[in-house]
Amino acid sequence: MENRRRRNRGGRQRLTAEQRAEFARERRALCGKLLTQEGFEGALVVEHIRGSQYLLRLPNGEEVFASHKKQKGQAEGALSQAGWRLWEERR
């Protein structure tokens, strides 16, 4: 039998258990990190909420929700440097 992963209805490949565990570890590791991305300099990742959503504490003390999208070709451990944007309410 071939070792191919099936695609779901959206055309995306399903994650393996190992991939899910690794991505969860990456998300947990971001908590407590300071961001260096332009516009988020000095913001602290307070908490992982769900999926790509996080709670950030800005340098002025304000807490905001933001989402993070991994950047292709990004160096290992460089998740605090790019891919962050303020979370918007979807309507």
Domain ranges of the chain: 32-86
What pLDDT was estimated at residue 79? 59
Cβ count near 80 (within 10 Å):
17
pLDDT tens string for the chain (91 positions)? 445 555 556 677 888 999 999 989 988 988 999 998 988 999 999 999 998 899 999 999 999 999 988 777 655 555 567 789 998 765 5
Report pTM: 0.73
Q: Are 60 and 13 in contact (CB under 8 A)?
A: no
Distance between CA atoms of 57 and 72, rounded to whole angstroms?
26
What pLDDT was estimated at residue 1? 43
What pLDDT was estimated at residue 69? 86
